[in-house]
Structure 1
Amino acid sequence: MASYASLKWRALARRHPSAFLLAAQLLSLLVYPLFEPAGGGRVVFGAFGVLVLALAVWVVNRSPAIKWIAWIIAIPAFALSVLSVLFASPGLLILSSALEAALYFYAASALIGYMMSDHKVTADELFAAGATFTLLAWGFAYAFVVCQAWYPDSFVGAQRPGEPRTWLELLFLSFTNLSAVGLGDILPMSPAARVLTMLEQFAGVGYVAAVVSRLIGLTMLRYPRP
Protein backbone atom coordinates (compact mmCIF):
# COMPACT_ATOMS: atom_id res chain seq x y z
CA MET A 1 0.00 0.00 0.00
CA ALA A 2 2.80 2.38 0.94
CA SER A 3 4.73 1.56 -2.21
CA TYR A 4 1.63 2.19 -4.32
CA ALA A 5 1.13 5.59 -2.68
CA SER A 6 4.80 6.41 -3.24
CA LEU A 7 4.56 5.50 -6.91
CA LYS A 8 1.39 7.55 -7.23
CA TRP A 9 3.00 10.63 -5.73
CA ARG A 10 6.10 10.12 -7.86
CA ALA A 11 4.03 9.93 -11.02
CA LEU A 12 2.09 13.01 -9.97
CA ALA A 13 5.32 14.91 -9.31
CA ARG A 14 6.65 14.04 -12.76
CA ARG A 15 3.35 14.98 -14.40
CA HIS A 16 2.85 18.27 -12.52
CA PRO A 17 6.25 19.41 -11.17
CA SER A 18 5.18 23.05 -11.39
CA ALA A 19 2.33 22.41 -8.94
CA PHE A 20 4.76 21.03 -6.35
CA LEU A 21 7.10 23.96 -6.91
CA LEU A 22 4.29 26.49 -6.45
CA ALA A 23 3.02 24.68 -3.34
CA ALA A 24 6.50 24.66 -1.80
CA GLN A 25 6.93 28.38 -2.44
CA LEU A 26 3.56 29.29 -0.95
CA LEU A 27 4.07 26.96 2.03
CA SER A 28 7.42 28.54 2.86
CA LEU A 29 5.76 31.96 2.58
CA LEU A 30 3.09 30.95 5.10
CA VAL A 31 5.53 29.36 7.57
CA TYR A 32 8.36 31.88 7.36
CA PRO A 33 6.85 34.53 9.70
CA LEU A 34 7.13 31.97 12.51
CA PHE A 35 10.90 31.78 12.03
CA GLU A 36 11.83 35.36 11.21
CA PRO A 37 12.02 36.65 14.81
CA ALA A 38 14.45 33.84 15.66
CA GLY A 39 16.81 34.81 12.85
CA GLY A 40 18.19 32.61 10.12
CA GLY A 41 14.76 31.62 8.89
CA ARG A 42 15.25 33.25 5.50
CA VAL A 43 18.41 31.28 4.86
CA VAL A 44 16.89 27.99 6.01
CA PHE A 45 13.90 28.37 3.72
CA GLY A 46 16.10 29.77 0.99
CA ALA A 47 18.32 26.71 1.09
CA PHE A 48 15.27 24.45 0.97
CA GLY A 49 13.91 26.48 -1.92
CA VAL A 50 17.16 26.12 -3.84
CA LEU A 51 16.89 22.34 -3.72
CA VAL A 52 13.24 22.43 -4.78
CA LEU A 53 14.05 24.75 -7.66
CA ALA A 54 16.96 22.65 -8.86
CA LEU A 55 14.75 19.56 -8.85
CA ALA A 56 11.97 21.41 -10.68
CA VAL A 57 14.34 22.64 -13.38
CA TRP A 58 15.73 19.11 -13.75
CA VAL A 59 12.25 17.66 -14.21
CA VAL A 60 10.99 20.29 -16.65
CA ASN A 61 14.14 20.47 -18.73
CA ARG A 62 15.33 17.02 -19.77
CA SER A 63 18.55 18.26 -21.39
CA PRO A 64 21.64 17.17 -19.38
CA ALA A 65 23.28 20.55 -19.99
CA ILE A 66 20.28 22.39 -18.55
CA LYS A 67 20.22 20.05 -15.58
CA TRP A 68 23.86 20.58 -14.72
CA ILE A 69 23.59 24.34 -14.98
CA ALA A 70 20.90 24.25 -12.28
CA TRP A 71 22.95 22.01 -9.99
CA ILE A 72 26.12 24.06 -10.51
CA ILE A 73 24.27 27.10 -9.18
CA ALA A 74 22.25 25.27 -6.51
CA ILE A 75 25.04 23.39 -4.71
CA PRO A 76 27.25 26.40 -3.81
CA ALA A 77 24.15 28.48 -3.04
CA PHE A 78 22.97 25.88 -0.55
CA ALA A 79 26.42 25.54 1.03
CA LEU A 80 26.90 29.29 1.35
CA SER A 81 23.41 29.70 2.85
CA VAL A 82 24.21 27.21 5.61
CA LEU A 83 27.67 28.71 6.24
CA SER A 84 26.25 32.23 6.46
CA VAL A 85 23.97 31.04 9.28
CA LEU A 86 26.70 29.15 11.13
CA PHE A 87 29.25 31.95 10.97
CA ALA A 88 26.88 34.98 10.72
CA SER A 89 28.96 36.33 7.85
CA PRO A 90 27.54 39.22 5.79
CA GLY A 91 29.91 38.35 2.94
CA LEU A 92 28.66 34.79 2.75
CA LEU A 93 25.07 36.06 2.90
CA ILE A 94 25.72 38.33 -0.10
CA LEU A 95 27.27 35.51 -2.13
CA SER A 96 24.51 33.04 -1.28
CA SER A 97 21.80 35.62 -2.05
CA ALA A 98 23.40 36.43 -5.41
CA LEU A 99 23.54 32.74 -6.34
CA GLU A 100 19.99 32.14 -5.17
CA ALA A 101 18.78 35.10 -7.23
CA ALA A 102 20.57 33.66 -10.26
CA LEU A 103 18.97 30.25 -9.72
CA TYR A 104 15.47 31.70 -9.31
CA PHE A 105 15.85 33.75 -12.48
CA TYR A 106 17.24 30.73 -14.31
CA ALA A 107 14.35 28.54 -13.17
CA ALA A 108 11.85 31.25 -14.15
CA SER A 109 13.35 31.49 -17.64
CA ALA A 110 13.26 27.69 -17.92
CA LEU A 111 9.58 27.60 -17.03
CA ILE A 112 8.81 30.43 -19.45
CA GLY A 113 10.56 28.48 -22.21
CA TYR A 114 8.57 25.41 -21.18
CA MET A 115 5.27 27.29 -21.41
CA MET A 116 6.17 28.91 -24.73
CA SER A 117 7.45 25.72 -26.39
CA ASP A 118 4.13 24.63 -27.93
CA HIS A 119 0.60 25.78 -28.69
CA LYS A 120 -1.14 23.45 -26.27
CA VAL A 121 -2.00 24.51 -22.72
CA THR A 122 -1.71 21.74 -20.13
CA ALA A 123 -2.63 21.76 -16.46
CA ASP A 124 1.05 21.78 -15.52
CA GLU A 125 1.63 24.88 -17.66
CA LEU A 126 -1.11 26.67 -15.75
CA PHE A 127 0.64 25.78 -12.50
CA ALA A 128 3.89 26.90 -14.12
CA ALA A 129 2.39 30.34 -14.73
CA GLY A 130 1.85 30.80 -11.01
CA ALA A 131 5.19 29.24 -10.11
CA THR A 132 7.05 31.53 -12.50
CA PHE A 133 5.54 34.59 -10.84
CA THR A 134 6.78 33.44 -7.43
CA LEU A 135 10.19 32.62 -8.89
CA LEU A 136 10.55 36.13 -10.25
CA ALA A 137 9.39 37.64 -6.96
CA TRP A 138 11.87 35.57 -4.96
CA GLY A 139 14.68 36.29 -7.43
CA PHE A 140 14.27 40.06 -7.21
CA ALA A 141 13.93 39.85 -3.42
CA TYR A 142 17.36 38.18 -3.26
CA ALA A 143 18.67 40.85 -5.64
CA PHE A 144 17.33 43.48 -3.22
CA VAL A 145 19.22 41.75 -0.39
CA VAL A 146 22.46 42.03 -2.34
CA CYS A 147 21.72 45.65 -3.24
CA GLN A 148 21.03 46.57 0.37
CA ALA A 149 24.27 44.93 1.52
CA TRP A 150 26.37 46.70 -1.11
CA TYR A 151 24.59 50.04 -0.83
CA PRO A 152 23.36 50.67 2.74
CA ASP A 153 20.16 52.67 3.11
CA SER A 154 19.03 51.53 -0.34
CA PHE A 155 15.51 50.95 0.98
CA VAL A 156 13.49 52.93 3.50
CA GLY A 157 10.28 51.89 5.20
CA ALA A 158 7.45 53.47 7.14
CA GLN A 159 8.62 51.61 10.26
CA ARG A 160 12.23 51.84 11.52
CA PRO A 161 13.28 54.08 8.60
CA GLY A 162 16.94 54.13 9.59
CA GLU A 163 17.34 50.33 9.81
CA PRO A 164 18.00 47.78 7.05
CA ARG A 165 14.92 46.09 5.66
CA THR A 166 14.29 42.51 6.71
CA TRP A 167 14.06 39.67 4.22
CA LEU A 168 10.29 39.51 4.53
CA GLU A 169 10.00 43.24 3.90
CA LEU A 170 12.10 42.96 0.75
CA LEU A 171 10.05 39.99 -0.41
CA PHE A 172 6.89 42.00 0.25
CA LEU A 173 8.34 44.88 -1.80
CA SER A 174 9.14 42.44 -4.61
CA PHE A 175 5.60 41.04 -4.71
CA THR A 176 3.94 44.45 -4.65
CA ASN A 177 6.31 45.78 -7.29
CA LEU A 178 6.04 42.77 -9.62
CA SER A 179 2.25 42.74 -9.39
CA ALA A 180 2.10 46.54 -9.98
CA VAL A 181 0.23 47.04 -6.70
CA GLY A 182 2.88 49.43 -5.40
CA LEU A 183 1.66 50.00 -1.83
CA GLY A 184 4.55 52.40 -1.19
CA ASP A 185 5.38 51.62 2.46
CA ILE A 186 8.87 50.47 1.39
CA LEU A 187 10.68 52.68 -1.10
CA PRO A 188 13.93 52.30 -3.08
CA MET A 189 16.29 55.21 -2.40
CA SER A 190 19.69 54.48 -3.95
CA PRO A 191 20.19 54.56 -7.73
CA ALA A 192 20.96 50.82 -7.78
CA ALA A 193 17.78 50.02 -5.84
CA ARG A 194 15.69 52.13 -8.18
CA VAL A 195 17.20 50.47 -11.24
CA LEU A 196 16.39 47.03 -9.81
CA THR A 197 12.86 48.20 -9.05
CA MET A 198 12.38 49.45 -12.61
CA LEU A 199 13.72 46.19 -14.01
CA GLU A 200 11.26 44.23 -11.91
CA GLN A 201 8.39 46.44 -13.05
CA PHE A 202 9.42 45.82 -16.66
CA ALA A 203 9.66 42.07 -16.01
CA GLY A 204 6.21 42.00 -14.40
CA VAL A 205 4.51 43.85 -17.24
CA GLY A 206 6.34 41.80 -19.86
CA TYR A 207 5.47 38.53 -18.15
CA VAL A 208 1.76 39.33 -18.04
CA ALA A 209 1.72 40.67 -21.61
CA ALA A 210 3.78 37.93 -23.26
CA VAL A 211 3.21 34.76 -21.23
CA VAL A 212 0.00 35.00 -19.21
CA SER A 213 -1.98 36.58 -22.04
CA ARG A 214 -0.74 33.86 -24.41
CA LEU A 215 -1.87 31.10 -22.06
CA ILE A 216 -5.26 32.74 -21.68
CA GLY A 217 -5.64 33.07 -25.45
CA LEU A 218 -4.65 29.46 -26.10
CA THR A 219 -7.02 28.27 -23.38
CA MET A 220 -9.92 30.16 -24.96
CA LEU A 221 -9.12 28.64 -28.35
CA ARG A 222 -9.69 25.17 -26.90
CA TYR A 223 -13.36 25.96 -26.47
CA PRO A 224 -15.10 26.85 -29.74
CA ARG A 225 -17.65 29.63 -29.71
CA PRO A 226 -21.29 28.56 -29.92
Structure 2
Amino acid sequence: MAKKIKTLEAKPTLVTFCSKYFNLLLIFLILLFVFRPYNRSGVYIGIWQLCFIGVFISSIFNCRHHKSIKTLATAVAIPALLCNWFAHFYMITSLELTHLILTFIFICICVGSIISRVILNAKVTLETLRGVVCVYFMIAFGFSYLYLLIEYWVPGSFYFIEGIIKLPSNTILNHNHILSESIFYSFVTLLTIGFGNIHAISDIAQTATILEGMLGQFYIAILVSRIISVYSFYSHKDEVEPVAFSSDHEDHT
Protein backbone atom coordinates (compact mmCIF):
# COMPACT_ATOMS: atom_id res chain seq x y z
CA MET A 1 0.00 0.00 0.00
CA ALA A 2 2.83 2.36 0.88
CA LYS A 3 4.54 1.63 -2.44
CA LYS A 4 1.35 2.54 -4.33
CA ILE A 5 1.11 5.83 -2.46
CA LYS A 6 4.72 6.66 -3.29
CA THR A 7 4.10 5.87 -6.96
CA LEU A 8 1.05 8.10 -7.03
CA GLU A 9 3.03 10.90 -5.41
CA ALA A 10 5.88 10.52 -7.90
CA LYS A 11 3.68 10.79 -10.99
CA PRO A 12 2.49 14.36 -10.39
CA THR A 13 6.10 15.37 -9.71
CA LEU A 14 7.23 14.04 -13.10
CA VAL A 15 4.26 15.62 -14.86
CA THR A 16 4.94 18.94 -13.14
CA PHE A 17 8.60 18.81 -14.14
CA CYS A 18 7.75 18.11 -17.78
CA SER A 19 5.05 20.78 -17.88
CA LYS A 20 7.35 23.56 -16.67
CA TYR A 21 8.52 25.83 -19.45
CA PHE A 22 11.92 25.10 -21.05
CA ASN A 23 12.58 21.96 -18.98
CA LEU A 24 12.12 19.44 -21.78
CA LEU A 25 13.67 21.77 -24.35
CA LEU A 26 16.82 22.17 -22.29
CA ILE A 27 17.12 18.41 -21.78
CA PHE A 28 16.73 17.67 -25.50
CA LEU A 29 19.20 20.41 -26.43
CA ILE A 30 21.80 18.94 -24.10
CA LEU A 31 21.17 15.46 -25.52
CA LEU A 32 21.42 16.86 -29.04
CA PHE A 33 24.82 18.30 -28.16
CA VAL A 34 26.06 15.13 -26.45
CA PHE A 35 24.88 12.80 -29.23
CA ARG A 36 26.42 14.76 -32.06
CA PRO A 37 25.88 12.89 -35.37
CA TYR A 38 29.26 11.16 -35.61
CA ASN A 39 29.96 8.52 -38.26
CA ARG A 40 29.51 5.56 -35.92
CA SER A 41 26.39 3.59 -36.74
CA GLY A 42 22.84 3.93 -37.94
CA VAL A 43 21.57 3.39 -34.38
CA TYR A 44 23.66 6.28 -33.06
CA ILE A 45 22.40 8.57 -35.80
CA GLY A 46 18.85 7.36 -35.09
CA ILE A 47 19.21 8.42 -31.43
CA TRP A 48 20.37 11.85 -32.57
CA GLN A 49 17.39 12.11 -34.92
CA LEU A 50 15.00 11.29 -32.06
CA CYS A 51 16.59 14.01 -29.94
CA PHE A 52 16.31 16.33 -32.94
CA ILE A 53 12.57 15.65 -33.16
CA GLY A 54 12.32 16.18 -29.39
CA VAL A 55 13.89 19.62 -29.78
CA PHE A 56 11.33 20.56 -32.44
CA ILE A 57 8.36 19.37 -30.39
CA SER A 58 9.54 20.90 -27.10
CA SER A 59 10.46 24.17 -28.87
CA ILE A 60 6.81 24.51 -29.85
CA PHE A 61 4.90 23.12 -26.88
CA ASN A 62 7.35 23.52 -23.96
CA CYS A 63 7.89 27.24 -24.47
CA ARG A 64 5.64 30.18 -23.74
CA HIS A 65 4.88 31.40 -27.28
CA HIS A 66 2.07 33.54 -28.58
CA LYS A 67 -0.57 31.55 -30.43
CA SER A 68 0.46 33.02 -33.78
CA ILE A 69 4.14 32.17 -33.17
CA LYS A 70 3.23 28.63 -32.16
CA THR A 71 1.17 28.20 -35.35
CA LEU A 72 3.96 29.61 -37.51
CA ALA A 73 6.59 27.42 -35.84
CA THR A 74 4.43 24.33 -36.34
CA ALA A 75 3.89 25.19 -40.00
CA VAL A 76 7.66 25.38 -40.51
CA ALA A 77 8.57 22.40 -38.30
CA ILE A 78 6.38 19.78 -40.01
CA PRO A 79 7.84 20.17 -43.54
CA ALA A 80 11.35 20.53 -42.06
CA LEU A 81 11.09 17.17 -40.29
CA LEU A 82 9.49 15.50 -43.30
CA CYS A 83 12.24 16.75 -45.61
CA ASN A 84 14.84 15.55 -43.12
CA TRP A 85 13.53 11.98 -43.05
CA PHE A 86 12.85 11.77 -46.80
CA ALA A 87 16.34 13.12 -47.52
CA HIS A 88 17.85 10.35 -45.40
CA PHE A 89 15.88 7.60 -47.10
CA TYR A 90 15.94 8.85 -50.70
CA MET A 91 19.20 10.88 -50.62
CA ILE A 92 17.80 13.81 -52.61
CA THR A 93 19.89 16.97 -52.38
CA SER A 94 16.95 19.35 -52.87
CA LEU A 95 15.14 17.83 -49.88
CA GLU A 96 18.24 18.18 -47.75
CA LEU A 97 18.66 21.83 -48.73
CA THR A 98 14.98 22.49 -47.96
CA HIS A 99 15.44 20.82 -44.58
CA LEU A 100 18.44 23.02 -43.77
CA ILE A 101 16.62 26.22 -44.75
CA LEU A 102 13.42 25.38 -42.85
CA THR A 103 15.36 24.26 -39.77
CA PHE A 104 17.30 27.52 -39.70
CA ILE A 105 14.07 29.52 -40.07
CA PHE A 106 12.41 27.47 -37.33
CA ILE A 107 15.29 28.10 -34.91
CA CYS A 108 15.21 31.84 -35.68
CA ILE A 109 11.47 31.98 -34.94
CA CYS A 110 11.82 30.15 -31.62
CA VAL A 111 14.89 32.11 -30.54
CA GLY A 112 13.19 35.44 -31.27
CA SER A 113 10.07 34.41 -29.36
CA ILE A 114 11.96 33.09 -26.32
CA ILE A 115 14.22 36.16 -26.13
CA SER A 116 11.21 38.49 -26.24
CA ARG A 117 9.63 36.53 -23.40
CA VAL A 118 12.82 36.58 -21.35
CA ILE A 119 13.37 40.31 -21.84
CA LEU A 120 9.73 41.23 -21.11
CA ASN A 121 9.67 39.07 -17.98
CA ALA A 122 10.02 41.46 -15.07
CA LYS A 123 11.05 39.10 -12.30
CA VAL A 124 13.89 36.64 -12.80
CA THR A 125 12.89 33.05 -12.07
CA LEU A 126 14.31 29.62 -12.82
CA GLU A 127 12.12 29.62 -15.91
CA THR A 128 13.87 32.76 -17.13
CA LEU A 129 17.32 31.27 -16.58
CA ARG A 130 16.34 28.07 -18.37
CA GLY A 131 15.10 30.12 -21.29
CA VAL A 132 18.39 32.02 -21.48
CA VAL A 133 20.39 28.78 -21.59
CA CYS A 134 18.06 27.28 -24.21
CA VAL A 135 18.50 30.30 -26.46
CA TYR A 136 22.29 30.03 -26.17
CA PHE A 137 22.18 26.41 -27.30
CA MET A 138 19.72 27.17 -30.09
CA ILE A 139 21.88 30.00 -31.46
CA ALA A 140 24.80 27.58 -31.74
CA PHE A 141 22.69 24.92 -33.45
CA GLY A 142 21.14 27.50 -35.77
CA PHE A 143 24.54 28.70 -36.96
CA SER A 144 25.72 25.13 -37.45
CA TYR A 145 22.89 24.64 -39.95
CA LEU A 146 23.69 28.00 -41.52
CA TYR A 147 27.33 26.96 -42.01
CA LEU A 148 26.24 23.70 -43.60
CA LEU A 149 23.86 25.60 -45.87
CA ILE A 150 26.65 28.00 -46.87
CA GLU A 151 28.89 25.07 -47.76
CA TYR A 152 26.21 23.59 -50.00
CA TRP A 153 25.67 26.89 -51.78
CA VAL A 154 29.36 27.87 -51.98
CA PRO A 155 31.46 24.68 -51.96
CA GLY A 156 34.81 25.07 -50.26
CA SER A 157 33.64 27.81 -47.87
CA PHE A 158 35.11 25.87 -44.94
CA TYR A 159 38.42 24.06 -45.00
CA PHE A 160 37.34 21.08 -42.88
CA ILE A 161 34.28 20.42 -45.07
CA GLU A 162 36.12 20.68 -48.39
CA GLY A 163 38.04 17.47 -47.84
CA ILE A 164 35.12 15.56 -46.35
CA ILE A 165 32.74 16.18 -49.25
CA LYS A 166 35.18 14.59 -51.71
CA LEU A 167 35.22 11.31 -49.82
CA PRO A 168 33.42 8.53 -51.76
CA SER A 169 31.47 7.47 -48.68
CA ASN A 170 27.77 7.08 -48.04
CA THR A 171 25.88 10.35 -48.49
CA ILE A 172 23.95 10.10 -45.22
CA LEU A 173 26.96 9.35 -43.04
CA ASN A 174 28.93 11.95 -44.92
CA HIS A 175 26.25 14.56 -44.27
CA ASN A 176 26.06 13.68 -40.57
CA HIS A 177 29.82 13.93 -40.13
CA ILE A 178 29.78 17.35 -41.77
CA LEU A 179 26.93 18.44 -39.48
CA SER A 180 28.86 17.18 -36.46
CA GLU A 181 31.88 19.26 -37.46
CA SER A 182 29.61 22.27 -38.10
CA ILE A 183 28.15 21.95 -34.59
CA PHE A 184 31.66 21.82 -33.13
CA TYR A 185 32.73 24.88 -35.13
CA SER A 186 29.58 26.78 -34.19
CA PHE A 187 29.97 26.24 -30.43
CA VAL A 188 33.67 27.11 -30.59
CA THR A 189 32.84 30.32 -32.47
CA LEU A 190 29.97 31.27 -30.15
CA LEU A 191 32.21 30.77 -27.12
CA THR A 192 35.00 32.66 -28.97
CA ILE A 193 37.49 29.89 -28.14
CA GLY A 194 38.85 29.62 -31.67
CA PHE A 195 40.93 26.44 -31.80
CA GLY A 196 41.96 27.19 -35.39
CA ASN A 197 41.58 23.66 -36.79
CA ILE A 198 38.57 24.76 -38.87
CA HIS A 199 38.83 27.76 -41.19
CA ALA A 200 36.18 29.91 -42.86
CA ILE A 201 37.50 30.62 -46.36
CA SER A 202 34.77 32.33 -48.40
CA ASP A 203 33.54 35.85 -47.67
CA ILE A 204 30.05 34.75 -46.65
CA ALA A 205 31.44 32.08 -44.32
CA GLN A 206 33.77 34.59 -42.66
CA THR A 207 30.91 37.08 -42.26
CA ALA A 208 28.68 34.45 -40.64
CA THR A 209 31.52 33.43 -38.31
CA ILE A 210 32.15 37.02 -37.21
CA LEU A 211 28.41 37.55 -36.71
CA GLU A 212 28.12 34.51 -34.45
CA GLY A 213 31.15 35.58 -32.42
CA MET A 214 29.62 39.03 -31.91
CA LEU A 215 26.29 37.48 -30.93
CA GLY A 216 28.03 35.31 -28.36
CA GLN A 217 29.69 38.34 -26.79
CA PHE A 218 26.64 40.61 -26.90
CA TYR A 219 24.34 37.87 -25.60
CA ILE A 220 26.34 37.43 -22.43
CA ALA A 221 27.19 41.12 -22.01
CA ILE A 222 23.70 42.54 -22.57
CA LEU A 223 21.07 39.90 -21.85
CA VAL A 224 22.71 38.17 -18.91
CA SER A 225 23.73 41.49 -17.32
CA ARG A 226 20.15 42.72 -17.63
CA ILE A 227 18.84 39.59 -15.92
CA ILE A 228 21.31 40.06 -13.07
CA SER A 229 20.34 43.73 -12.67
CA VAL A 230 16.61 42.91 -12.63
CA TYR A 231 17.19 40.14 -10.11
CA SER A 232 19.22 42.48 -7.88
CA PHE A 233 16.55 45.19 -8.12
CA TYR A 234 13.68 42.94 -7.09
CA SER A 235 15.65 41.15 -4.38
CA HIS A 236 16.61 44.52 -2.88
CA LYS A 237 13.00 45.72 -3.17
CA ASP A 238 11.72 42.64 -1.35
CA GLU A 239 14.17 43.31 1.48
CA VAL A 240 13.27 46.99 1.83
CA GLU A 241 9.46 46.70 1.78
CA PRO A 242 9.06 44.70 5.05
CA VAL A 243 11.27 47.21 6.87
CA ALA A 244 9.18 50.14 5.65
CA PHE A 245 6.00 48.40 6.70
CA SER A 246 7.29 47.69 10.19
CA SER A 247 8.37 51.33 10.71
CA ASP A 248 4.96 52.63 9.62
CA HIS A 249 3.29 50.19 11.96
CA GLU A 250 5.37 51.44 14.89
CA ASP A 251 4.41 55.09 14.14
CA HIS A 252 0.71 54.24 14.21
CA THR A 253 1.04 52.45 17.51
* Superposition TM-score, scaled by structure 1 size: 0.86
> Residues 30, 62 of structure 1: CA spacing in aligned structure 2 closer, same or farther, 3 A cutoff?
closer
1:153 aligns with 2:156: yes
Q: Offset of 1:123 from its aligned partner? A: 0.3
Higher Rg of the two aligned structures: 2
1:106 aligns with 2:118: no
The whole-number CA distance in structure 2 between the counterparts of 1:203 and 1:75 is 28
Contact between 1:60 and 1:114, CA under 8 Å: does it hold in 2? no
1:89 aligns with 2:92: yes
The whole-number CA distance in structure 1 between the counterparts of 2:10 and 2:55 is 21
1:19 aligns with 2:23: yes
The whole-number CA distance in structure 1 between the counterparts of 2:42 and 2:209 is 26
1:199 aligns with 2:200: no
Q: Which residue of 2 aligns with 1:162?
A: 163
* Structure 1: tracts of 5 or more residues without a match: none
* % identical aligned pairs: 23
* Structure 2: tracts of 5 or more residues without a match: 166-176, 241-253
Q: Which residue of 1 aligns with 2:64?
A: 61
The whole-number CA distance in structure 2 between the counterparts of 1:42 and 1:103 is 21
Q: Which residue of 1 aligns with 2:14?
A: 9
Which of the numbers 91, 116, 119 marks the counterpart of 1:116? 119
Q: Which amino acid aligns with 2:228?
A: I
Contact between 2:32 and 2:51, CA under 8 Å: does it hold in 1? no
Deviation sequence 1:126-166 (CA, Å, 0-9, x none): 11111110000000001111111111111013xx8633471
* Superposition TM-score, scaled by structure 2 size: 0.77
The CA RMSD measured in Å over matched residues stands at 2.6
Q: Offset of 1:73 from its aligned partner? A: 0.7
The whole-number CA distance in structure 1 between the counterparts of 2:234 and 2:88 is 50
Q: Offset of 1:58 from its aligned partner? A: 3.4
The whole-number CA distance in structure 2 between the counterparts of 1:149 and 1:161 is 10
